Each structure stands twice: as structure tokens, then as C-alpha cells.
Amino acid sequence: MDEIRETVAIYRSRKCTYEDYAKLPEGAPYQLIGGELVLSPAPSLKHQRVARKLATKMTVFAEDRDLGEVYHAPTDVYFNEEETYQPDIVFIPWDRESILDDGKVNGAPDLVVEVLSPSTANDDLITKFQTYERYGVKEYWIIDPKDNSIKVYLHNEGRLSLGQVVQCHGLIESKVLSGFAVEAEYLFRRR
């Protein structure tokens, strides 16, 4: 951990690039947001439970239909030299598998899911939202485990527009993963 702190301290005085980010030891809890290395502490257990349940359902759905790959954090998604994120869940269809390489996803996944945490919510709701919009993420799910809500934004005419909202109960459906749906109550309950 001291090695990580020392490396990050060197980069705090200037804008960082992907090259700097890639020098961090594997598993370092950072994302590159706006040229700054941003610490992403371990999420709450509820955050992890919601992300795990959704990632599992999406993975089974995509694999059963041979639609593409579902990845979960920490998976690097590279947008440009100053923006490399680790969304909670991403989906890349087989016809876009060329954006996958050994170390990262190179470009916008078709579907991105972020589960909000107090320390990262501002980035997820503003900075990352704008990047996902600009780079053409087709579907962006924002899940707030604090108020048990899910918002699904769809890319239309260069913008991410709110397509669906549920709170506590209700079915959330994906347009990108056609036919995939999940009950909000299932994601938020403990059992």
C-alpha cells in the first residue's frame, strides 16, 4: 500500500494520463477522472450485494443467448488519456468485441451500470455521466442503494435521456439487452 501512496503522491501535482494510471500496481483502488487519480474506497455491503445480484442476472442472460460479455468492477474502461473508469457493470456485445483487449475496454460499452456510493456519487452523476453521453454509451443505469431507486438513461440524438425510473418496486427493462428485465425489489432486498 505504501508503494501505491508514493506513486499517487507523485502524480498529485500534475494532470495524469492513462500511461501514469497504468503504472499503478494491479488492484490499486483508483480511477482516472479528469486527469486526476481518484481513490475509490471499498463500497458498502449493500452496494456490493446490489451490483453482484445484477451482474449475475445480466451475465446469465447474456451467456444463455450468446449476446456478448458482462464485466464487473474492477474493469478498466478507457475513454481517452485522462478518463479511465471502473464502472460497477459493463456489457459489450459480440459485434463490438474489438474494443476488448487484455487489460481494458477501449471505448464506450453499450451498457454501463453505476451503483452510487457517497464518495463517488458526484462523479457518477456528473463527470462520468457527461463522458458516457459524449462517447455514446447506449444505456446507462444509475442505482442508488440509499433510496432504492434505479434510473435508466438511453442514448438518443447525442444525449442520454431518462427512459425509466423505479423506486423500491417495479420492473426495470434493458433496451440494449433486449428481453432482459429485473425486479427492483429483488436487487434491494437482503435475501
The whole-number pLDDT of residue 12 equals 57
Phi, psi of 114 (to 5 degrees): -120, 125
Does residue 27 lie in a domain region?
no
Phi, psi of 31 (to 5 degrees): -125, 155
The burial class, CB within 10 Å (0-12 / 13-18 / 19+), for 13 is exposed
CATH code for the domain of 172: 3.90.1570.10
The whole-number pLDDT of residue 1 equals 55
Does residue 157 lie in a domain region?
yes
DSSP string, 144-172: ETTTTEEEEEEEETTEEEEEEEEESBSEE
Q: What is the pLDDT of residues 98-109, one digit of tens each?
A: 999 988 999 999
Does residue 77 lie in a domain region?
yes
Does residue 29 lie in a domain region?
no
The whole-number pLDDT of residue 83 equals 98
Does residue 121 lie in a domain region?
yes
Strand partners, 166: 150
The reply to whether the predicted model has a pTM over 0.85 is yes
Query: pLDDT category, 2, cuts 50, 70, 90?
Result: low
- Residues contacting residue 29 through CB under 8 Å, at least 6 positions apart: 39, 40, 41, 42, 74
Name the average pLDDT for the chain. 93
Q: What is the pLDDT of residues 127-138, one digit of tens each?
A: 999 999 999 999
How many folded domains does the chain comprise?
1
Is pLDDT at 22 greater than 80 in this prediction? yes
Does residue 16 lie in a domain region?
no
Domain, as residue range, for 122: 41-188
Does residue 34 lie in a domain region?
no
Does residue 163 lie in a domain region?
yes
Is pLDDT at 188 greater than 90 in this prediction? yes
